[in-house]
């Protein structure tokens, strides 16, 4: 076997076995609720069996040993010769944890670390434990030529390719999973049955994400060219040219949507790990929790799916650790002993809304108000002006969270500033809603993709900028005579609400003509409204986000760059960064 073929087989194993191991955690938690679900037991057994076979093919001995021990347990469970209990489930879940570690080691090319001997022994001992009484079912009628292959026949077929688990299968020139798909049925199964139950032709292929990124970049360039041609169409009187550009516009939008759809993945890929995460935390703390997943089929850009994992894990852990009360406390409060945690996702326009809600103790906004003053992060006068909802958002302030704060507030303070930073980097927003005694909800809003951005094009003293349209609420003419000064900020009354102003000409270091009419772009940033003063509003445009050059990279207030329909470079503004940059000088 040449090196290239060997690397391809390894890559296939990492991808396919990794998906199986990732699903195992959620499947095991589901089995805890439905221990007699035969279909689920078979699925878990086959997952361990398939991973074991692939590991044996690639000589990953420690992984083979662990999977073989778990497989033996599930062979007894599905035959009714063993019953699942909490201790056994804990051992199986630990096995999945070690499998995930091993998969990480395989991906990084490290030597595999063996699972603890005590864990392997506990699985073997479970197979030796006295079997509970089993009520034997009536024997099934003999299989006809039209019956599907039985489980025993399927396992035997797997063993032909994978080995029994202890011996390493001989090396062949075919990837392990592909070999299973192409293998002929056992001689005992008639050819008629094999034809009748042949799997449908494969309709999916695996594509490297780098290739998808290149496709997305090409589509982005096509979008820019489309925008340029639409500008030129305005200066042309040719009907044929206008029709051709209109057709190009339609095709470009269709191609853009098709490529975006290829990049989409269901949010289930992230959600599936949380029932196990919540259970692990609850078991360690002596709590009980039930996890409900809603909207798992909601699609999201793959890059966002991957980037969301860590922030969501942190929030799930915090919800169980600091939100859900102990069983006796919940019972005294008239609640079920087991807390309820819900993760939900749904699409709304060109955004995804994700919520993490619990029915725990909730967060006391008044305690947060006092704490922010005690820690010197805000003056007492400024804190008093905060609404209860604004007080809840204080947990996102850097430096606000400490161990003392957690124990006092039973909230979700640790590292929430880091969580917010991660969500902001994804061009999203996050906020908390809570009622004392009734639980809390963390609400996250994210764009469907980070590649193409609907933007409001504005100009400041002749320079063109792009503003993310998702945060823009309204545009109005600035009445300079109504500007007042408050707490080092210029403020203006817009629709009966005082709005802090950020003068983009001052931020950009250019001088706008004060005699000309200026506009205020009203935007919602971190649940607060700000007015961004610009010279002119040009209109809406879809822009392709390009990385900043070395001289501008890291500059606060900029999210990237793009090329306008006129062929000019425009900087894409970052609202939170602008506020941070201008807050010291009051806009």
What is residue 528's predicted lDDT score, i.e. its pLDDT? 82
Average of per-residue pLDDT across 511-517: 78
State the Cα–Cα distance between residues 46 and 177, nearest whole angstrom: 13
Q: Are 322 and 341 in contact (CB under 8 A)?
A: no
State the Cα–Cα distance between residues 267 and 296, nearest whole angstrom: 5
What is residue 147's predicted lDDT score, i.e. its pLDDT? 46
Q: Which of 49, 53, 47 is nearest to 24 (CA)?
A: 47
For residue range 46-93, list pLDDT tens digits in order.
Answer: 888 888 888 888 888 888 999 988 888 888 888 888 888 888 888 888
∠ CA 337-339-345, nearest 5°, is 160
State the Cα–Cα distance between residues 287 and 267, nearest whole angstrom: 27
3-state secondary structure string, 227-273?
HHHHHHHCCCCCHHHHHHHHHHHHHHHHHHHHHHHHHEEECHHHHCC
What is residue 406's predicted lDDT score, i.e. its pLDDT? 40
Q: Which CATH architecture has domain 209-265?
A: Orthogonal Bundle (1.10)
Task: Tell me the two tokens of residue 296.
Answer: 């798992």
Q: What is the CATH number of domain 3-133+142-196?
A: 1.20.120.160
DSSP string of 475-522, one letter each residue: EEE--GGG-EEETTEEEEEETTEEEEEEEHHHHHT----TTS--EEEE
User: Would you list the domain boundaries of the chain?
Assistant: 3-133+142-196, 209-265, 267-447, 452-583
Q: What is the CATH number of domain 267-447?
A: 3.30.565.10
Fold (topology level) of 452-583: OB fold (Dihydrolipoamide Acetyltransferase, E2P) (2.40.50)
Average of per-residue pLDDT across 552-569: 77
For residue range 6-55, list pLDDT tens digits in order.
Answer: 677 787 788 788 888 888 888 888 888 888 888 888 888 888 888 888 88
For residue range 379-435, list pLDDT tens digits in order.
Answer: 888 888 888 888 888 888 876 754 443 433 333 434 687 888 888 888 788 889 998
Q: Are 525 and 577 in contact (CB under 8 A)?
A: no
For residue range 435-491, list pLDDT tens digits in order.
Answer: 888 899 999 988 776 667 788 999 988 889 999 888 899 999 988 888 888 878 888
Q: Are 331 and 418 in contact (CB under 8 A)?
A: no
When the pLDDT of each residue in the chain is averaged and rounded to a whole number, the result is: 78
Q: Are 429 and 344 in contact (CB under 8 A)?
A: no
Q: Which of 263, 340, 341 is nearest to 306 (CA)?
A: 263
State the Cα–Cα distance between residues 30 and 33, nearest whole angstrom: 5
Average of per-residue pLDDT across 338-364: 88
What is residue 159's predicted lDDT score, i.e. its pLDDT? 53
Cα-based torsion angle of the residue sequence 374, 377, 378, 380 in order, rounded to the nearest 10 degrees: 10
What is residue 190's predicted lDDT score, i.e. its pLDDT? 45
What is residue 138's predicted lDDT score, i.e. its pLDDT? 44
What is the β-pairing status of strands 569-573 and 463-468?
parallel
∠ CA 354-356-360, nearest 5°, is 160
3-state secondary structure string, 328-343?
HHHHHCCCCCCEEEEE
Going by the DSSP 8-state scheme, the letter that residue 319 receives in this structure is I
């Amino acid at each position: 076997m040449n090196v290239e073929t060997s690397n391809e087989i390894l890559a296939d194993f990492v991808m396919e076995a990794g998906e199986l191991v990732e699903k195992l955690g959620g499947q095991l938690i589901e089995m805890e609720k439905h221990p007699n679900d035969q279909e689920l037991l078979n699925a878990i057994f086959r997952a361990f069996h398939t991973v074991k076979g692939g590991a044996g093919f690639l000589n990953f001995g420690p992984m083979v040993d662990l999977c073989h021990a778990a497989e033996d347990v599930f062979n007894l469970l599905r035959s009714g010769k063993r019953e699942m209990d909490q201790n056994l489930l804990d051992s199986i879940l630990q096995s999945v944890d070690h499998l995930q570690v091993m998969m990480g080691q395989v991906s990084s090319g490290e030597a595999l670390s063996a699972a603890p001997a005590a864990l392997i022994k506990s699985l073997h001992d479970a197979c030796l434990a006295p079997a509970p009484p089993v009520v034997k079912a009536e024997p099934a009628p003999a299989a006809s030529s039209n019956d599907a292959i039985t489980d025993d026949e399927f396992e035997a077929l797997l063993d032909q390719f994978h080995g029994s688990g202890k011996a390493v299968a001989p090396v062949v020139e075919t990837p392990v999973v592909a070999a299973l798909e192409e293998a002929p049925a056992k001689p005992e199964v008639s050819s008629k049955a094999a034809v009748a139950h042949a799997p449908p032709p494969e309709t999916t292929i695996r594509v490297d994400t780098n290739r998808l990124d290149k496709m997305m970049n090409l589509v982005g360039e096509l979008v820019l060219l489309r925008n340029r041609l639409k500008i030129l169409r305005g200066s042309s009187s040719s009907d044929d040219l206008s029709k051709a550009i209109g057709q190009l516009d339609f095709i470009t939008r269709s191609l853009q949507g098709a490529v975006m759809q290829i990049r989409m993945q269901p949010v289930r890929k992230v959600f599936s790990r949380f029932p196990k995460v919540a259970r692990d935390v609850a078991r360690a703390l002596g709590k009980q929790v039930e996890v409900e997943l809603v909207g798992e089929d909601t699609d999201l850009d793959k890059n966002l799916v991957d980037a969301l994992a860590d922030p969501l894990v942190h929030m799930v852990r915090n919800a169980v650790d600091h939100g859900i009360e102990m069983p006796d406390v919940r019972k005294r409060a008239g609640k079920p002993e087991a807390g309820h945690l819900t993760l939900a996702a749904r699409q709304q326009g060109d955004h995804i809304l994700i919520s993490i809600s619990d029915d725990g103790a909730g967060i006391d906004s008044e305690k947060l108000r006092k704490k922010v003053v005690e820690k010197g992060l805000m003056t007492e006068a400024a804190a008093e002006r905060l609404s209860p909802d604004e007080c809840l958002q204080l947990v996102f302030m850097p430096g606000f969270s400490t161990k003392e704060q957690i124990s006092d507030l039973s909230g979700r303070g640790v590292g929430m500033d880091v969580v917010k930073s991660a969500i902001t980097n994804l061009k999203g927003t996050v906020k908390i809603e809570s009622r004392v005694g009734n639980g809390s909800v963390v609400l996250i809003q994210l764009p469907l993709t980070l590649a193409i951005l609907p933007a409001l094009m504005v100009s400041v003293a002749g320079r063109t900028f792009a503003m993310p349209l998702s945060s823009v609420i309204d545009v109005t003419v600035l009445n300079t005579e109504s500007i007042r000064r408050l707490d080092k900020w210029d403020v203006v009354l817009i629709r009966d609400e005082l709005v802090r102003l950020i003068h983009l000409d001052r931020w950009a270091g250019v001088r706008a003509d004060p005699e000309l009419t200026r506009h205020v772009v009203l935007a919602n940033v971190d649940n607060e409204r700000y007015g961004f003063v610009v010279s002119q509003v040009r209109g809406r445009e879809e822009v392709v986000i390009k990385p900043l050059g070395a001289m501008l990279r890291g500059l606060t207030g900029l999210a990237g760059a793009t090329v306008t329909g006129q062929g000019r470079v425009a900087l894409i503004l970052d609202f939170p960064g602008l506020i941070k940059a201008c807050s010291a000088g009051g806009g």
